[in-house]
């Protein structure tokens, strides 16, 4: 029985060690988190035995340790209390003794009706020993430490809030006990499938008489998680409960039996030929439940009775609790612990996972411990059985404390199991150098107690992380994990710890910039503050290879201890960079440096000269005992400066060497080879290790500029651009055919790395919230790409240019090549190859811009669909394509739309209307629809006729040309027809002006059609001198040749009702336009006479 952890005043265990003893009841233990380690580690060792305890001068191993390969079994903590030792000594051989070890640092022993509780610590001191012995009440059931829980009051002696407890029967019936301040205990049944039940007060002695008989599942194990949640494992399901102060909620029930049986059977016997026939005969026993970083871990034993010999296979099954359901993913780890099957009772085994953030685990029986892992992915522990029966000892209980698995052996007391330190994977002197750089001896570097470790962490996290790395290299995974967890707790927010990124980045720099102090030539050149990594290699190449090896181990270490996934960003070259990519950069530089060192052997003069320039630029002196390459190759983090130095040296040599010599061309070839091979090594490492450095969450990462694409005047991009110019402008023109081929091949390789790094940078900013930066960078990339590839076209290097253009989607280069070589077949291939990148649209647009419309419209049938889609935005050409494919209806609509939109050129509008009419005639329009469309076009043409028939004299006067003049509106045409410049205007001109009134939009509020009509009529009147006929007897005959009269006659001939059409005669006489004639009575007489004659006499 354990109290709910919500009321405990001491740290509580995350899970119980649920000893399965014959009993009617099982206990449910509390869950709480402690500071975990990812793998169990000897955080504090002591040297003592039961006979002589408290001598902390040496480590004392249990005799069992001599039988193990990978693990040490050592005595743990201070001496056992006298009461415990007496109980162990006086107990009979067949006396049932059980021990419980609590993660909060407490242990208790139960034997007969005695309960002994004592405090355990990692220290060997007995100064703070606490031990209490209590008498257990009489019971019909066998007592077990697993059925005991303790409640600890505060150290000040004040009373705490009363705790609550949960009891369970072996049939999975749960009861909640809540004591009150008076000492009375209230209890209520926790009903599965219901939310909250109020307590029912009864005596504890009558507890099991009230349990419901409907629950039939056998309880196998219990597990507390957090402070208000626990799980129960039965022989068919996992149940999850959440507790409140006085109520509880059953939130999850997962029927696991079928899924687990199938998964385990398949993992163990799936490869057997008769698997389908035997899988129904396989038996399973669920033994224990725990949890780690991956989820819930179930210990299951499986056996097949007809198998010979019949073995019990102990398996660890990991499932993930997703809140209110369990994930479908099941991970089965079949351990190598498979003793012969005897009986179900003999299957007893406990699962110990001392660290929530670890895959390490221990299986514990009464006479053996089996160390293993819950997953064989990363950080898994070697599997090994640690026997106790050979020593005549047996295990009474188990648990964990301080991230260590702790066991209580009857003869030996408390024991801790830890991974045995192994020979380091690092070179011997590099190993010693790391150890000597720490404040403590290497053999004791990680055996500090908790308080000392905390102080050291605050003082120098980088140094202690190095120590953890050293442990990892010695194959002490548990020690390394423990140190890392104390330095950078796993529950810290991901990406929030700048110290983590700084420490990891600094150690990586220290590794690649390590001083080879074991090289005697460096004896007086290693500064005291050097990082402490040393290398004995006297050969530079070996030194670089050793650094690469160490850096690879460093990456493995970060992965194993769980730090790699927590990396954030750090400052590099004045900007933020993802730390994982910085680690990749360091390895890439090592790869490039190794290649450079190989070239140093082949071309010592060239490389030495560049190295000397690099050291001069960095103002690095060369000690007398060393050479320039020694100094340069030591500081790998700054090795990229040599790229610019090669170009500087090359330009100087080309100037000082006679052009006609063979050596002159080889100067460029040698530098090209070195640069190309160094870039290749770096980029190949990046590509090969892509999966290692990839991150799933890239949204928050800063822009990534690879070091091989460094910017600025001395950056590698500038270096390649300079080399591009040197090759094409200086060397290539002077080279013979063979040398030219070599130069172009080398140049293309350099340009490939240049462009590839641009693509990498572009991908790093291709996010919805960074589109402005992406567009800017893409424009820069496109410009650079064109500048670098276009010269290859000028030189006729079409094959090389197309290879790069195809890879980096430079469609302009590809189209130019196909156009220059008239290779339509390749163009069609590109249209298919780059369909997703809209190559066809680019090609069509290129044809338009270059004025190659014939080629645009002569596309093969397979491209008609894409061409039609493209031409939707270019209707001035789409009608040609539509006619070509005989889609006359669409061509008609397109031409009519273009005609309606055309305002710039009158002739073009007239032509488009004519073509639209022809397309309509050629189409399959129904007869009635065709007539409607013809009438519509004819109306448009009739309007245009008014502009087409403008008097030539007027056009000359206005300096207008029908071939280039814009389309005029109706109002503009009226003004032209009635203008003074139309000196030869007759009745037809004014009649056209009146006809044009019909084309003025009624919605045009700026034009009053009646006033405009009045103006036209007035202008017609003023075309004649009405006073010239004064004195004639017949006014009608006298004015018969007047323009105004002839206009009236035209209107009559058209059938116009003049009474309705003409304004009132008085309105005409009073208009401002006729102001000069208003005082002439004879004019009034003539006008009224004509009005009367034509309006009244000819209605």
| pLDDT tens readout for residues 359-409 | 889 999 999 999 998 876 544 577 888 888 766 788 999 999 888 899 999
Residue 754 in contact with residue 706, Cβ under 8 Å?
Answer: no
The span from the CA of 1017 to the CA of 783, in Å, is 66
Residue of 505, 504, 515 lying closest to 633 (CA atoms): 515
Place of tokens 């102001």: 1075
Dihedral (Cα; 652, 655, 656, 661), 10-degree rounding: 120
Beta-bridge partner residues of 874: none
Say what the pLDDT of residue 337 is. Answer: 92
Residue of 1066, 1020, 1061 lying closest to 1044 (CA atoms): 1020
Ordered by start, the domain boundaries in the chain are: 2-33+78-252, 255-402, 421-538+550-567, 571-795, 949-1096
- Please, what is the Cα angle at 1083 between 1078 and 1086, to 5 degrees? 140
662-687 pLDDT per residue, tens: 788 899 999 999 999 999 999 999 99
Please tell me the least confidently modeled range out of 55-64, 234-243, 263-272, 801-810. 55-64
The tokens describing 287, both together, are 């033994």
Q: Which residues of 100-135 are buried (b: 16+ CB within 10 A; e: fewer)?
A: bbbbbbbbbbbbeeebbbbbbbbbbeeeeeeeebee
Say what the pLDDT of residue 542 is. Answer: 78
- DSSP assignment, residue 732? G
For helices 864-871 and 875-884, the axis angle rounded to 10 degrees is 150
Residue 824 in contact with residue 814, Cβ under 8 Å?
Answer: no
Say what the pLDDT of residue 2 is. Answer: 41
- The mean pLDDT value for 705-711 works out to 94
- The mean pLDDT value for 188-196 works out to 65
The span from the CA of 53 to the CA of 73, in Å, is 16
Say what the pLDDT of residue 773 is. Answer: 93
526 by Cβ neighbours in 10 Å (0-12 / 13-18 / 19+) ranks as middle
Reply yes or no on whether the pLDDT at 7 is more than 70.
no
Residue 309: asked if its preceding bond is cis (omega within 30°), the reply is yes
- Please, what is the Cα angle at 913 between 910 and 916, to 5 degrees? 150
273-322 pLDDT per residue, tens: 788 888 889 999 999 999 998 899 999 999 999 888 899 999 999 999 88
CA separation (Å) from 686 to 314, 545, 621, 705? 42, 17, 33, 13
Residue 678 in contact with residue 595, Cβ under 8 Å?
Answer: yes
Residue 872 in contact with residue 841, Cβ under 8 Å?
Answer: no
Q: Which helix (H) or strand (E) holds 396?
A: strand 395-401
Q: Identify the residue with better confidence: 45 or 540.
A: 540
- The mean pLDDT value for 85-107 works out to 85
- The mean pLDDT value for 690-700 works out to 80
Say what the pLDDT of residue 970 is. Answer: 87
- The mean pLDDT value for 477-496 works out to 79
- The model's confidence at residue 905, banded by pLDDT at 50, 70 and 90, is confident
Q: Identify the residue with better confidence: 836 or 17.
A: 836
Q: Which fold has domain 949-1096?
A: 1.25.40
The span from the CA of 810 to the CA of 796, in Å, is 17
Is the four-CA dihedral 735, 737, 742, 745 of positive or negative sign? Answer: positive
Question: How many C-beta atoms lie closer than 10 Å to residue 851's C-beta?
Answer: 9
The span from the CA of 992 to the CA of 974, in Å, is 8
By three-state DSSP, how is residue 905 classified?
Answer: coil
Say what the pLDDT of residue 616 is. Answer: 94
Reply yes or no on whether the pLDDT at 84 is more than 50.
yes
End-to-end CA distance of the chain: 121
Q: How big, in percent rounded to 5, are the helix, strand and coil portions of the chain? A: 50, 15, 35
The span from the CA of 494 to the CA of 768, in Å, is 23
Of 199-213, 289-303, 941-955, which one has max mean pLDDT? 289-303
The pairing of beta strand 360-364 with beta strand 350-352? antiparallel
By three-state DSSP, how is residue 1006 classified?
Answer: coil
The span from the CA of 221 to the CA of 16, in Å, is 9
Residues in the chain: 1099
Distance of CA 779 to the CA centre of its chain: 24
Question: How many C-beta atoms lie closer than 10 Å to residue 814's C-beta?
Answer: 24
Beta-bridge partner residues of 71: 419
Contacts of 1085 (CB under 8 A, 6+ apart): 1035
Instruction: Name the CATH superfamily for 255-402.
Output: YVTN repeat-like/Quinoprotein amine dehydrogenase (2.130.10.10)
- The model's confidence at residue 861, banded by pLDDT at 50, 70 and 90, is low
Place of tokens 């006809």: 995
Q: Which long-range contacts (CB under 8 A, 24 or more apart) does 733-741 make?
A: 734/659, 734/664, 734/665, 735/665, 739/665, 739/669
588-611 pLDDT per residue, tens: 999 999 999 999 989 999 999 999
The span from the CA of 83 to the CA of 96, in Å, is 17
The tokens describing 484, both together, are 């890392």
The tokens describing 272, both together, are 């057997």
Phi and psi torsions of 386, nearest 5°: -115, 100
By three-state DSSP, how is residue 419 classified?
Answer: strand
Say what the pLDDT of residue 123 is. Answer: 62
The span from the CA of 1027 to the CA of 1083, in Å, is 7
Q: Identify the residue with better confidence: 744 or 321.
A: 744
Exposure of 152 in the CB half-sphere (CA atoms within 13 A): 19
Place of tokens 């049939």: 171
Question: How many C-beta atoms lie closer than 10 Å to residue 324's C-beta?
Answer: 8
The span from the CA of 792 to the CA of 376, in Å, is 54
CA separation (Å) from 253 to 212, 240, 315, 321? 18, 6, 22, 11
Say what the pLDDT of residue 73 is. Answer: 87
Say what the pLDDT of residue 870 is. Answer: 56
- The mean pLDDT value for 861-890 works out to 61
541-589 pLDDT per residue, tens: 778 888 898 899 999 999 999 999 899 999 998 899 999 999 999 999 9
Residue of 835, 818, 834 lying closest to 826 (CA atoms): 818
Q: Identify the residue with better confidence: 691 or 246.
A: 691
Residue of 731, 797, 784 lying closest to 754 (CA atoms): 784
Residue 596 in contact with residue 528, Cβ under 8 Å?
Answer: no
The span from the CA of 592 to the CA of 706, in Å, is 14
Say what the pLDDT of residue 433 is. Answer: 53
Dihedral (Cα; 70, 75, 78, 79), 10-degree rounding: 170
Would you say the CATH fold of 255-402 matches that of 2-33+78-252?
A: yes
Place of tokens 């194959």: 475
Quick one: residue 981, left, alpha or beta (phi over 0 = left, psi -120 to 50 = alpha)? Answer: alpha
Proportion of the chain above pLDDT 70, given as a percent: 78
- The model's confidence at residue 52, banded by pLDDT at 50, 70 and 90, is very low
Place of tokens 């030219």: 740
Say what the pLDDT of residue 146 is. Answer: 83
Say what the pLDDT of residue 379 is. Answer: 45
Q: Identify the residue with better confidence: 750 or 870.
A: 750
Phi and psi torsions of 290, nearest 5°: -145, -165
Of 72-81, 172-181, 509-518, 730-739, which one has max mean pLDDT? 730-739
Say what the pLDDT of residue 16 is. Answer: 33
Exposure of 907 in the CB half-sphere (CA atoms within 13 A): 6
Q: Identify the residue with better confidence: 627 or 752.
A: 752
The pairing of beta strand 229-234 with beta strand 219-225? antiparallel
Say what the pLDDT of residue 923 is. Answer: 78
Please tell me the least confidently modeled range out of 55-59, 811-815, 1049-1053. 55-59
Phi and psi torsions of 71, nearest 5°: -135, 150
E strands, 707-750, are: none
Task: Specify the CATH number of the domain 2-33+78-252.
Answer: 2.130.10.10
Beta-bridge partner residues of 252: 240
């Amino acid at each position: 029985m354990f109290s709910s952890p919500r009321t405990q005043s001491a740290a509580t265990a995350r899970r119980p060690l649920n000893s399965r003893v014959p009993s009617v009841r099982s206990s449910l233990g509390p869950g709480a988190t402690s500071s975990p380690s990812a793998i169990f580690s000897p955080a504090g060792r002591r040297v003592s035995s039961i006979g002589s305890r408290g001598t902390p001068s040496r480590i004392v191993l249990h005799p069992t340790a001599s039988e193990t390969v990978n693990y040490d079994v050592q005595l743990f903590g201070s001496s056992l209390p006298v009461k415990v030792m007496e109980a162990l000594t006086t107990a009979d051989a067949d006396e049932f003794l059980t021990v419980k070890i609590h993660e909060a640092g407490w242990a208790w022993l139960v034997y007969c009706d005695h309960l002994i509780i004592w405090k355990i610590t990692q220290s060997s001191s007995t100064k703070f020993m606490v031990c209490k012995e209590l008498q257990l009440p009489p019971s019909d059931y066998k007592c077990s430490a697993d059925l005991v829980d303790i409640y600890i009051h505060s150290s000040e002696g004040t009373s705490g809030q009363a705790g609550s407890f949960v009891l369970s029967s072996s049939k999975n019936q749960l009861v909640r006990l809540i004591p009150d301040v008076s000492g009375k205990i209230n209890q209520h049944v926790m009903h599965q499938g219901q939310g909250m039940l109020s307590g029912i007060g009864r005596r504890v002695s009558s507890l099991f008489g009230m349990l419901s008989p409907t629950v039939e599942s056998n309880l196998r194990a219990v597990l507390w998680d957090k402070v208000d949640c626990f799980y129960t494992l039965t022989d068919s399901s996992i149940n999850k409960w959440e507790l409140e102060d006085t109520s509880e909620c059953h939130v999850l029930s997962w029927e696991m039996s079928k899924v687990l049986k199938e998964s385990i059977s398949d993992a163990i016997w799936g490869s057997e030929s008769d698997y389908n026939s035997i899988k129904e005969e396989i038996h399973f026993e669920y033994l224990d439940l725990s949890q780690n970083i991956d989820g819930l871990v179930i210990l299951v034993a499986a056996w097949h009775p007809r198998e010979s010999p019949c073995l019990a296979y102990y398996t660890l099954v990991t499932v993930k609790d997703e809140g209110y359901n369990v994930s479908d993913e099941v991970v089965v780890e079949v351990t190598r612990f498979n003793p012969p099957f005897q009986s179900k009772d003999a299957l007893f085994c406990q699962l110990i996972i001392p660290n929530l953030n670890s895959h390490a685990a221990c299986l514990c029986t009464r006479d053996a411990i089996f160390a293993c892992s819950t997953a064989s992915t990363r950080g898994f522990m070697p599997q090994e059985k640690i026997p106790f029966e050979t020593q005549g000892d047996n295990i009474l209980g188990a648990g964990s404390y301080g991230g260590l698995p702790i066991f209580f052996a009857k003869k030996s007391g408390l024991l801790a199991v830890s991974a045995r330190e192994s020979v380091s994977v690092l070179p011997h002197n590099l190993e010693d150098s790391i150890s000597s750089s720490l404040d403590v001896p290497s053999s004791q570097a990680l055996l500090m107690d908790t308080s000392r470790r905390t102080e050291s962490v605050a003082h120098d996290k980088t140094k202690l992380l190095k120590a953890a790395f050293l442990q990892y290299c010695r194959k002490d995974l548990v020690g390394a994990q423990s140190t890392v967890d104390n330095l950078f707790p796993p529950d810290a927010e991901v990406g929030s710890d700048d110290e983590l990124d700084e420490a990891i980045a600094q150690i990586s720099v220290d590794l690649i910039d390590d001083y080879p102090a074991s090289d005697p030539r460096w004896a007086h050149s290693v500064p005291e503050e050097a990082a402490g990594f040393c290398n004995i290699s006297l050969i530079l190449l070996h030194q670089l290879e050793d650094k690469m090896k160490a850096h690879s181990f460093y990456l493995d270490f970060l992965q194993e201890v769980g730090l790699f996934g927590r990396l954030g960003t750090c400052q590099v070259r004045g900007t933020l960079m993802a730390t994982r990519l910085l680690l990749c950069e360091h390895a890439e530089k090592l790869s490039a440096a190794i290649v450079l060192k190989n070239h140093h052997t082949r071309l010592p003069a060239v490389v030495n000269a560049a190295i000397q320039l690099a050291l001069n630029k960095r103002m690095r002196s060369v000690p007398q005992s060393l050479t320039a390459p020694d100094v340069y190759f030591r500081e790998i983090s700054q090795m990229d400066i040599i790229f610019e130095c090669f170009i500087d040296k090359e330009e100087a040599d080309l100037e000082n060497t006679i052009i006609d010599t063979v050596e002159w061309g080889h100067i460029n070839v040698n530098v090209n080879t070195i640069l190309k091979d160094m870039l290749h090594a770096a980029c190949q490492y990046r590509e090969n290790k892509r999966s290692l450095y990839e991150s799933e969450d890239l949204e928050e990462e800063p822009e990534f500029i690879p070091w091989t694409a460094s910017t600025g005047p001395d950056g590698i991009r500038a270096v390649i651009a300079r080399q591009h110019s040197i090759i094409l402008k200086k060397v290539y023109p002077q080279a013979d055919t063979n040398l030219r081929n070599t130069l172009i091949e080398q140049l293309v390789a350099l340009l490939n790395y240049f462009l590839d790094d641009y693509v990498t940078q572009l991908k790093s900013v291709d996010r919805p919230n960074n589109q402005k930066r992406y567009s800017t960078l893409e424009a820069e990339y496109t410009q650079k790409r064109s500048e670098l590839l276009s010269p290859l076209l000028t030189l006729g290097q079409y094959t090389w240019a197309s290879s790069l253009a195809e890879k980096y989607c430079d469609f302009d280069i590809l189209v130019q090549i196909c156009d220059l070589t008239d290779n339509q077949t390749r163009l069609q291939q590109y249209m298919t190859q780059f369909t997703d990148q809209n190559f066809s649209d680019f090609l069509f647009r290129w044809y338009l811009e270059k004025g190659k419309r014939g080629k645009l419209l002569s596309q093969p049938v397979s491209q008609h669909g894409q061409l039609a889609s493209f031409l939707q935005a270019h209707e001035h050409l789409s009608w040609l394509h539509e006619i070509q494919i005989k889609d006359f209806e669409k061509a008609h609509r397109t031409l009519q739309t273009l005609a309606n939109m055309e305002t710039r050129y009158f002739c073009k509008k007239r032509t488009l209307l004519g073509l639209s009419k022809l397309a309509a005639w050629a189409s399959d329009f129904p007869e009635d629809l065709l007539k409607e469309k013809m009438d519509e076009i004819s109306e448009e043409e009739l309007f245009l006729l008014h502009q087409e028939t403008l008097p030539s004299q007027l056009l000359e006067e206005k300096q207008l040309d029908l071939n280039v003049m814009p389309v005029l509106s109706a109002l503009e045409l009226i003004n032209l027809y009635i203008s003074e410049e139309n000196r030869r205007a007759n009745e037809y001109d004014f009649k056209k002006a009146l006809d044009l009134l019909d084309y003025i939009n009624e919605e045009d509020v700026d034009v009053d059609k009646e006033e405009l009509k009045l103006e036209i009529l007035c202008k017609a009147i003023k075309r004649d001198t009405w006073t010239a006929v004064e004195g004639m007897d017949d006014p009608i005959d006298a004015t018969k040749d007047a323009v105004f009269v002839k206009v009236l006659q035209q209107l009559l001939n058209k059938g116009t009702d003049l009474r309705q059409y003409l304004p009132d005669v008085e309105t005409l006489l009073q208009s401002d336009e006729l102001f000069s004639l208003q005082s002439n009575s004879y004019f009034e007489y003539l006008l009224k006479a004509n009005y009367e004659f034509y309006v009244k006499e000819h209605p």
